[in-house]
Amino acid sequence: MSRAGAAPDTVRDALRRAIRAGTFTPGQPLRQDQLAARFGTSRIPVREALRQLEAEGYVTLHPNRGAIVASLSPGEVLELLDIREALECHALRLAVPRMGEPDLTAAEAILDAYDAAPEPDAWGEMNWRFHRTLYAPSDRPRLIAMIEINYGHVSRFTRAMVSRAAGKEGPQRDHRQLVAWCRAGNAGAAAALLARHLEQTRKSLMALLRQRSDRAAG
């Protein structure tokens, strides 16, 4: 990639993925010259990418300190989980009546790869690909964009903590049953299962936060 040819959107997307993957952690400084070298571009698209990521909540810009990766409190993450449930259940209800067999086959292929993936660090991206595949037939690109941004924030906090503690056997059972309800055309049952599925993530997170608090107090 030439230094003159990198668009701000390209830098933004790459940096967003790196933040979501934990390559850049909450509170970490994001220096424009280092990012320009990392992404093979000049500082101009980096500066614009950081502005866009600030609008999405991934980055905080300080007049004197520059950019840092935004942090989330546990309370904010729990609120985002509430938002996630509302948005994703709505998207699934819209999507189920429009699904075709290719959509369901694609979702099952992702689950097969998910089953074969041994490292929890890969599960978050596969989980998102699966859910996005189910929501895509809703034909609501703005809704899906909102869901993706929200998912990215939540996954930064829950990715390793919840995945490693809960494993993937239980979530994968839910995923397979979701596909079954979708194939049956039962949007209500699919949305109800999705709500329970997301509530389990909330419960796992709250339990881990309590354990962390108890250890700190002890």
65 neighbors 27 (Cβ within 8 angstroms): no
DSSP state for residue 41 in the 8-state scheme: S
The 10s digit of each residue's pLDDT in 119-147 is 766 777 888 999 999 999 999 999 999 99
pLDDT for residue 161:
56
pLDDT for residue 165:
53
Percent of all residues in the chain with a pLDDT value above 70, rounded to a whole number:
90
pLDDT for residue 209:
75
Set out the domains of the chain in order of their start, with CATH numbers. 8-69 (1.10.10.10), 74-217 (1.20.120.530)
pLDDT for residue 204:
78
6 neighbors 45 (Cβ within 8 angstroms): yes
216: CB partners within 8 A, 6+ apart:
none
Q: Which residues of 89-105 are buried (b: 16+ CB within 10 A; e: fewer)?
A: bbbbebbbeebeeebbe
Q: Which range, 35-39, 73-77, 142-146, has the best average confidence (pLDDT)?
A: 142-146
Could you tell me the two tokens for 175?
């995923």
Angle (nearest 5°) at CA 15 between 126 and 74? 70
Half-sphere exposure of 83 (CA within 13 A, CB side): 17
pLDDT for residue 4:
47
The more confidently predicted of residues 106 and 1 is: 106
pLDDT for residue 119:
75
E strand or H helix at 166: helix 141-166
The more confidently predicted of residues 73 and 177 is: 177
pLDDT for residue 75:
85
**Mean pLDDT value across residues 93-104:** 98
**Angle at which helices 141-166 and 187-217 pack, to 10 degrees?**
50
